Structure 1
Amino acid sequence: MFEPVKIAPSILSADFMDLGRDIALIEEAGAGYVHVDVMDGHFVPNLTMGVPVVRQLKKATSLPLDVHLMIDNPLEQVPWFLDAGADSVTVHVEALDEAGLFRAVSDIRGSGARAAVSVKPATPIEAVVPVIGEVDMVLVMSVEPGFSGQSFIEGSDARVARVVELARMAGASPLIQVDGGIGVATAPCVAAAGADVLVCGNAVFAAKDPGAALEAVRTAAEEARAAALGLSDILDEV
């Protein structure tokens, strides 16, 4: 929590006819991760990419692959994505019972990858409490998962702040990621609340200059983070 802000562009919004070019653009711009949205058409009403894409991405970039599983059967498929080269795997609390969550997190971390859990907007944030001390990251969805280009749900920053509170109560310090409607206008509020990793789709890939757009989002987030922590004056002097 309250780590330097990193941007994780979602390739769901990239040009799949020239994906290599888009990956190179965000890598050069200083992205922290490549965010890979995996949807099965059941857990969410959309069908996207799978293991073959992750396997090819692993060959195409040195950036960590941040794989977000929006699927009904994560326990079955987690090993597939780990084998394909995922550096971080996120599973949804809504897809698993408590025992299943612990097993998924254990399997992911046992492989050497980072484990994360995600919550949909309507799910109480407290659902992450059982595993908050075991995960490397908590993903707060700020739109209903399933489609790119949606608008940020107001109040999502309060949910981020609640994760910070719950983590501190548990003596844990997972990274906090936010996904959905993140851009220059919305990045500041979630970063100030404690978000460390911001997933951006159209805000980056639909821009005329994706690299400049990425940097603009990161700068806006960092400035808000500094202000929230009372570091603005110190940064101005550096």
Structure 2
Amino acid sequence: MSDARINPSILAADFVNMQADLARIANADFVHVDVMDNHFVPNLTFGPQMVQRIQETSPVPLDVHLMITDADRWAPGYAELGAASVTFHLEAAEHPVALARRLRQIGSRAGVAVKPTTAVEPLFDVLDEFDQILVMTVEPGFGGQSFLADQLPKLTRLYDEARRRGSQVWLQVDGGISESTIARAAAAGADTFVAGSAVFGAADPDAAIAALRARAASAHRH
């Protein structure tokens, strides 16, 4: 694998000084933007207007993670804002393959996410309909939670199936990612990592990103 992708989560950024915090992660691969509606998850963040402003000011592309109900209706709007990647939850989509195709048609990468209690096996036959599969290693809704190591076998099953099928799908992990957990996620098969406080809580976010990337790249399965 080439360098691991590190996507800092703005849930851990300073919302009042967002532009300044975004400037501190210019060496990230993407910025991870969590959209929550207080229905699908018990938290409320922001919607299209805020995402549009982040899009206009971010030095790196946007990786939007929609933790919202009725993804079929709302997800395409985020692709239309220019987000490089839009991920919706499998549990919140009536027609996930059709939605992924719509996102790609608009020009975004299409991702699908699964909660800790959701099996990944139903995705095996449609891997190439998605550009990214996100395995949550916390219950979605809040930053700063502890890493759920019992989700790592899901990543390994996805990795093995993708290899077997020759799929180029990215395997993303989100939740509790730090220097102490990223190697385990990489060893399980992840190649794209969402990190919040491990980046924005560091004195030097750029150095933290570089350290996470190096640690993941050295541990990744081959």
Interval containing the TM-score (normalised by the shorter chain): over 0.9
The amino acid of 2:113's aligned partner reads: S
- Gaps of at least 5 residues in structure 2 are none
Q: Percent identity?
A: 45
Deviant stretches of 4+, over 4 Å: none
Indicate if the aligned counterparts of 1:89 and 1:113 stay in contact, CA closer than 8 A.
yes
Please tell me whether residue 125 in structure 1 is matched to residue 120 in structure 2. Answer: yes
Alignment of 1:1-238 (within 5 A): 2-27=1-26, 30-97=27-94, 100-225=95-220, 228-229=221-222
The amino acid of 1:73's aligned partner reads: D
Indicate if the aligned counterparts of 1:178 and 1:198 stay in contact, CA closer than 8 A.
yes
Q: How many residues align?
A: 222
Deviations 1:180-221 (A, max 9, x none): 000000000111222111000111111222222222211211
Secondary structure of 1:140's partner? strand
TM-score, structure 2 normalization: 0.95
Equivalent residue for 1:234? none
Offset at residue 130 of structure 1 (A):
4.2
Deviations 1:38-77 (A, max 9, x none): 1111111111111111111121124110000111111111
Offset at residue 129 of structure 1 (A):
2.4
Indicate if the aligned counterparts of 1:189 and 1:224 stay in contact, CA closer than 8 A.
yes
Instruction: Identify the range of structure 1 (71-80 vs 125-134) with the bigger mean alpha-carbon deviation.
Output: 125-134
Indicate if the aligned counterparts of 1:142 and 1:181 stay in contact, CA closer than 8 A.
yes
RMSD: 1.4
Structure with greater Cα Rg? 1
Secondary structure of 1:222's partner? helix
Indicate if the aligned counterparts of 1:156 and 1:190 stay in contact, CA closer than 8 A.
no
The amino acid of 1:218's aligned partner reads: R
Indicate if the aligned counterparts of 2:42 and 2:141 stay in contact, CA closer than 8 A.
yes
The amino acid of 2:97's aligned partner reads: F
- Gaps of at least 5 residues in structure 1 are 230-238
